[in-house]
Amino acid sequence: MQLIDGKALANRIHEKVGKEVDELKQVRNIVPGLAVILVGDDPASHAYVKMKAKACEKVGFYSITHSMPDTISQDEIIATIEMMNNNPRIDGILVQLPLPRHIDANRILEVIDPRKDVDGFHPFNVGKLTAGLDGFVPCTPLGVMHMLEAYGIDPKGMDVCVVGASNIVGKPMASLLLNANATVTITHIFTKDLKAHTSKADMVIVGVGVPGLIKEDMVKEGAIVIDIGINRLESGALVGDVDFANVSKKCSYITPVPGGVGPMTIAMLLDNTLKSAKKR
């Protein structure tokens, strides 16, 4: 069994982005800019945004966070996004999800200029991904593909089971794998027999937020297991959606939690923002 070290890979990407930012500043006098909209007081959202801001500072980005109360109106959020759409210093716009219930998240995401949609959630970029065209890809699935490439794992011809069908992870993950010529099965909360699908797969990718969902008897010998889930137990421990201690005994490759996919998500956000800045 080999661990896929997302933290080490993310650090290498940070270094690469930092060097390219220096070149961009010197040659074209451009500093990549990332703007984040943070609504409400959700502790996890605040923690994520703080980590993103720290990463931006590390690689030399200009970054700004628009913190808003959870009582803010939808029109006020839209007005802020439109202001950033028209700001030439901003290359990437990110709306931290989830949003309060009175806000239509789909409407908010549609307002973002697709050229600044570094999260890859705008329907324009979703369509490009599905069609196999160049655009912005959601950061977590993109990070998974980079991890596979770094470890010499080619999904071509593999049977891959994606557990979870969210717009943020499951669906774009499946599209990327299809584009890489894998045979993809998507499972979700209404799947009748999850084990029947995971136990046959060469690779299992799970991201649903259920601690220890994938057990040892649900994966075959030598399978590749990518754990996107991150859950905090009552004890305070961070765990994934995979029973790591037991499943890892059967795997050829597996990602740990923490230190696996999580760091790659922020690394891909930086990479997407740099990509946008280069097109400025």
**What is the CA angle 81-276-140, rounded to 5?**
85
96 is catalytic: yes
The 3-state DSSP class for residue 254 equals strand
**Active-site residue identified among 91, 117, 119, 243:** 119
**Active-site residue identified among 96, 128, 171, 202:** 96
Q: Rounded to whole angstroms, what are the CA distances from 264 to 11, 71, 94, 112, 147?
A: 9, 32, 16, 23, 8
- DSSP 8-state assignment for residue 134: S
Residue 273 has φ and ψ, to the nearest 5°, of: -65, -40
CA–CA gap between residue 148 and residue 152 (Å, rounded): 6
Judge if the upstream peptide bond of residue 258 is cis by omega within 30 degrees of 0: yes
CA–CA gap between residue 111 and residue 128 (Å, rounded): 17
52 is catalytic: yes
Contact 49, 96 (CB under 8 A): yes
26 is catalytic: no
- Residue 108 has a CB neighbour count (10 Å cut-off) of 19
CA–CA gap between residue 24 and residue 73 (Å, rounded): 37
- Residue 52 has a CB neighbour count (10 Å cut-off) of 23
Positions annotated as catalytic residues are 52, 96, 119
